[in-house]
């Protein structure tokens, strides 16, 4: 908590309303942010958090309401205008020029010139300016690196550096930690504390309850586009927040494990070594009806392991058996035919057809099952039914099945993708961070789906950075360290400490 908490009001948003076709995304929402504080914004997927912030940041035009920055009424028409006026936003969905360098991304549209008389871009100055911001924030990223070659966490740091480089007074972080490791979260929190001490007003959106209670001074909760409550963080408990968000009590975070692991091996991996990543010599077996967790630090090869099994990355050595049969999984298509499915980690980049509607995005992986019984054509009715099933099962909040997926909230887009893969009815489901960016209520649904699948005799391999989730849902957990398998633990008989120790084994 900061001594300055309770400073002057930096930002005032009053009675903001915003509608989209078929949805009232915001209904007279108000928010006040004080200088030198962190204000958390919470609510379920689709509650209107990102929309409220996009109205502030000039991405959306509000229909109604007023916004004041230190008593001056503002109404930004573009994000550039917002940035020039000291309001910055680190987006939930990073929108970066991936083919360009780090410094290009930071200074895009305001490149430093060689001099007033020579209107050419000064690469040298741009490099020096970038390094200055990076040093201030203790960021270790090469300013000349190309964005696409960097992990999401580094790209996020670049985004934060960009916000700081504009000398912003109000900085919005929309789910900044969803792809960060624990150490990176600590780093981000140091940066946020520094900005708070400088007198900035920070708006922090996250679904991670522990984080909110730790970093924020005040919490505003929204539900269905409406303001529900604003309270000092120290007066709120996790259960109270959940009740305000969901509108009902949610007593358990994990459903009871009701499945039995059968002593029959469904998938065996031997000496798996990747061609282009550090993954090497991984062997393990997966049983029928088993939920197998994969733990490890970021970059330890967890995602690469799934990708190498699924054929979306190239293997160098190694064998994969389904039961006793050798399979090759040279491509995702081949893996799907072999009864595997995979939910990727970076769903927006690798999983979404943003200009297509919810229905097309849902049925795209099970088109064969959508054929008309009599004709060769696709049956509209079947596609509609399958999509409706997934929307119900995943509780996807969407005005209709024909809504473009890009207009869904971040969390709801993710749910569409998970629903898509559920429809393929895989025998073996590979899930990379399945609950990232998903609200508490929907997380429970996803755990329930995983446990139900295991109960039906399907098997699940689940990568997660959230230790409680691995312990709460999995039967067995493999721990990766620096591309290798560092050990294996039983979920009911291990501790977070044991897993952390294994994760550091080869570092
Ligand atoms: N461009 C758009 N077009 C149509 N509807 C939209 C658009 N942007 C948002 N919406 C709708 O507005 C509502 C609020 O979405 P918003 O993205 O603000 O939710 P959120 O609280 O940020 O959720 P999440 O936690 O999933 O990110 C949702 O129902 C969403 O479908
Ligand atoms: Mg959002």
Q: Is the CB of 49 under 6 A from ligand 1?
A: yes
- pLDDT recorded at residue 427: 95
With a 6 Å cutoff on the Cβ, whether 411 touches ligand 1 is: yes
CA–CA separation, 236 vs 244, rounded Å?
A: 10
Tens digit of each residue's pLDDT (9 = 90 or more) over 349-381: 667 888 899 999 999 988 888 888 887 788 899
The finding on whether 422 has its CB within 6 A of some atom of ligand 1 is no
**What is the Å distance from ligand 1's center to 75 Cα?**
20
Using a 6 Å cutoff on CB, does residue 25 contact ligand 1?
yes
Name 457's Cβ contacts closer than 8 Å, sequence gap at least 6: 262, 288, 289
Closest ligand 1 atom to Cα of 51: 18
Q: Average pLDDT in the 471-492 region?
A: 95
More confident residue, 211 or 229: 229
Burial of 32 (0-12, 13-18, 19+ CB in 10 A): middle
Contact 436, 414 (CB under 8 A): yes
Residue of 207, 409, 436, 441 with the most ligand 1 atoms within 8 Å of its CB, for mutation: 409
Extract the runs of DSSP E, i.e. beta strands, from 217-360: 218-223, 226-232, 262-274, 282-288, 291-296, 315-322, 325-327, 340-343
d(CA 49, CA 172): 11
Q: How confident is the model at residue 181 (pLDDT cuts 50, 70, 90)?
A: confident
Higher pLDDT: 109 or 179? It is 109
**Token pair 């090469």 in the structure block, residue:** 142
CA distance 20 to 62: 11
Task: Give the ligand whose atoms come closest to the C-alpha of residue 47.
Answer: 1
Say whether pLDDT at 490 is over 60. Answer: yes
pLDDT at 1 over 50: no
363: left (phi over 0), alpha (psi -120 to 50) or beta: alpha
Does residue 397 have its Cβ closer than 6 Å to ligand 1?
A: yes
- Rg (alpha carbons) of the chain, rounded to whole number: 24
Rounded to 5 degrees, φ, ψ at 341 are: -140, 155
Q: Is 482 in the pocket of ligand 1 (CB under 6 A)?
A: no
CA 19 – ligand 2 centroid, Å: 16
Distance CA 159, CA 29 (A): 27
Q: What is the pLDDT of residues 7-53, one digit of tens each?
A: 799 999 999 999 998 889 999 999 999 999 999 999 998 999 999 99
CA of 95 to the centre of ligand 2 (A): 14
* Residue 436 Cβ contacting ligand 1 at under 6 Å: no
- What pTM value is reported for the model? 0.80
Q: What one-character DSSP code corresponds to residue 374?
A: S
**Pairwise pLDDT comparison (292 vs 115), residue with the higher score:** 292
Point out the ligand 1 atom lying closest to the alpha carbon of residue 18: 12
- Helix, strand, coil in percent for the chain, rounding step 5: 35, 25, 35
Per-residue confidence (pLDDT) for residue 49, from 0 to 100: 96
Does residue 132 carry a pLDDT above 90?
yes
Tokens 């040279």 map to which residue? 330
CA 401, 96, 410: angle at the middle one, nearest 5? 30
Cβ of residue 143 lying under 6 Å from some atom of ligand 1: no
When the pLDDT of each residue in the chain is averaged and rounded to a whole number, the result is 90
Q: How far apart are CA 302 and CA 308, in angstroms?
A: 10
Ligand lying nearest the CA atom of residue 226:
1
- Cβ of 45 below 6 Å from ligand 1: yes
Domains of the chain, earliest start first: 1-86+168-251 (3.40.50.300), 96-166 (no CATH), 254-339+426-507 (3.40.50.300), 347-425 (no CATH)
Is 41 touching ligand 1 by the criterion CB < 6 Å? no
Is the CB of 409 within 6 Å of ligand 1?
yes
Distance 205 CA to ligand 1 centre (A): 14
- Taking the centre of ligand 1 as the mean of its atom positions, its distance from the CA of residue 28, in whole angstroms, is 16
Q: Which pLDDT band, with edges at 50, 70 and 90, does 3 fall under?
A: very low
Sheet holding 64-69, edge to edge: 23-34, 9-20, 64-69, 72-74
Res. 402: pLDDT tops 90: yes
Rounded to a whole number of angstroms, the distance between the first and last alpha carbons of the chain is 34
Give 35-73 as a 3 state SS string: CCEEEEEECCCCCCHHHHHHHHCCCCCCCEEEEEECCEE
- Which residue among 402, 407, 437, 438 has the greatest number of ligand 1 atoms within 8 angstroms of its CB, and so is best to mutate? 407
What is the distance in A from the centroid of ligand 2 to the CA of 99? 25
Closest C-alpha residue for ligand 1 atom 12: 25
CA of 406 to the centre of ligand 1 (A): 9
**In the 8-state DSSP scheme, what is residue 112?**
P
Give pLDDT, residue 4: 44
Q: State the CB neighbour count (10 A cutoff) for residue 78.
A: 11
Q: Quote the ligand 1 centre to 418 CA distance (angstroms).
A: 18
Say yes or no: CB of residue 410 within 6 Å of ligand 1: yes
In this structure, are residues 29 and 225 in contact, taking their beta carbons and an 8 Å threshold? yes
Nearest to 156 by CA among 185, 128, 113: 185
**CA of residue 271 relative to chain centroid, distance:** 31
Please tell me the predicted confidence (pLDDT) of residue 135: 93
Quick one: pLDDT band at residue 382, thresholds 50, 70, 90? Answer: very high
Q: Which residue's CA is the closest to the ligand 1 atom numbered 19?
A: 46
Give the span between the Cα atoms of 91 and 378, in whole angstroms.
Answer: 37
Element containing residue 30 per DSSP (H, E)? strand 23-34
pLDDT for 393 beyond 60: yes
Kind and range of the H or E run holding 447: helix 440-455
Residue nearest to atom 29 of ligand 1 (CA): 46
User: pLDDT grade, residue 272 (50/70/90)?
Assistant: very high
**Using CA atoms, how far apart are residues 487 and 490, in angstroms rounded to an integer?**
11
Ligand 2 midpoint to CA 28 (Å): 18
Ligand 1 within 6 A of 43 CB?
Answer: yes
What is the side-by-side order of every strand in the sheet holding 282-288? 282-288, 262-274, 315-322, 325-327
Give the dihedral of Cα atoms 125, 127, 133, 138; nearest 10 deg: -150
Residues 6+ apart with CB under 8 A from 126: 103, 107, 111, 112, 143
């Amino acid at each position: 908590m900061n001594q300055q908490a309770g400073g002057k009001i930096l930002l005032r948003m009053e009675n903001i309303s915003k509608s989209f076709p078929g949805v009232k995304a915001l209904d007279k929402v108000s928010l006040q942010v004080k200088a030198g504080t962190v204000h958390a914004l919470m609510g379920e997927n689709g509650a209107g958090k990102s929309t409220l912030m996009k109205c502030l940041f000039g991405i959306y035009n509000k229909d109604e309401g007023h916004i004041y920055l230190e008593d001056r009424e503002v109404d930004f028409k573009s994000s550039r205008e917002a940035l020039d006026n000291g309001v910055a936003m680190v987006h939930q969905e990073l929108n970066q020029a991936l083919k360009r360098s780090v410094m290009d991304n930071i200074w895009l549209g305001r490149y430093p010139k060689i001099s007033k008389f020579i209107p050419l871009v000064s690469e040298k100055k741009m490099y020096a300016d970038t390094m200055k911001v990076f040093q201030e924030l203790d960021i270790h990223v090469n300013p000349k690196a190309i964005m696409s070659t960097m992990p999401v966490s580094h790209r996020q740091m670049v985004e934060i550096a960009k916000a700081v480089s504009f000398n912003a007074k109000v900085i919005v972080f929309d789910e900044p930690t969803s792809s960060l490791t624990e150490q990176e979260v600590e780093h981000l929190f140091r940066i946020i504390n520094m900005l708070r001490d400088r007198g900035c007003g920070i708006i922090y959106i996250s679904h991670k309850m522990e984080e909110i209670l730790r970093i924020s001074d005040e919490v505003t909760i929204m539900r269905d586009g409406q303001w529900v409550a604003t309270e000092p963080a120290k007066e709120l408990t996790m259960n109270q927040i959940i009740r305000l968000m969901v509108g009902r009590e949610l007593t358990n975070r994990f459903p009871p494990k009701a499945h039995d692991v059968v002593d029959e091996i469904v998938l065996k991996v031997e000496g798996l070594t990747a061609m282009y990543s550090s993954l090497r010599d991984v062997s393990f077996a997966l049983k029928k009806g088993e939920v197998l967790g994969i733990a490890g630090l970021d970059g330890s090869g967890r995602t690469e392991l799934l990708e190498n099994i699924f054929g979306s990355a190239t293997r160098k050595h190694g064998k994969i058996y389904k039961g006793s049969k050798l399979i090759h999984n040279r491509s995702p298509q081949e893996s799907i035919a072999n009864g595997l499915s995979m939910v990727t980690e970076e769903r927006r980049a690798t999983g979404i057809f943003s200009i297509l509607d919810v229905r097309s995005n849902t049925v795209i992986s099970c088109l064969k099952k959508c054929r008309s019984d009599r004709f060769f054509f696709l049956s509209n009715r079947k596609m509609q039914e399958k999509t409706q099933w997934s929307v119900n099962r995943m509780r996807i909040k969407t005005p209709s099945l024909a809504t473009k997926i890009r207009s869904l909230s971040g969390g709801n887009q993710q749910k569409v993708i998970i629903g898509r893969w559920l429809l393929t009815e895989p025998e073996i489901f590979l899930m990379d961070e399945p609950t990232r960016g998903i609200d508490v209520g929907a997380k429970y649904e996803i755990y329930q789906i995983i446990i139900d699948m295991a109960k039906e005799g399907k098997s699940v391999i689940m990568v997660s950075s959230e230790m409680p989730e691995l312990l709460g849902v999995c039967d067995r957990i493999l721990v990766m360290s620096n591309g290798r398998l560092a050990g294996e633990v039983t979920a009911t008989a291990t501790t977070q400490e044991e897993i952390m120790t294994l994760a550091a084994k080869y570092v």
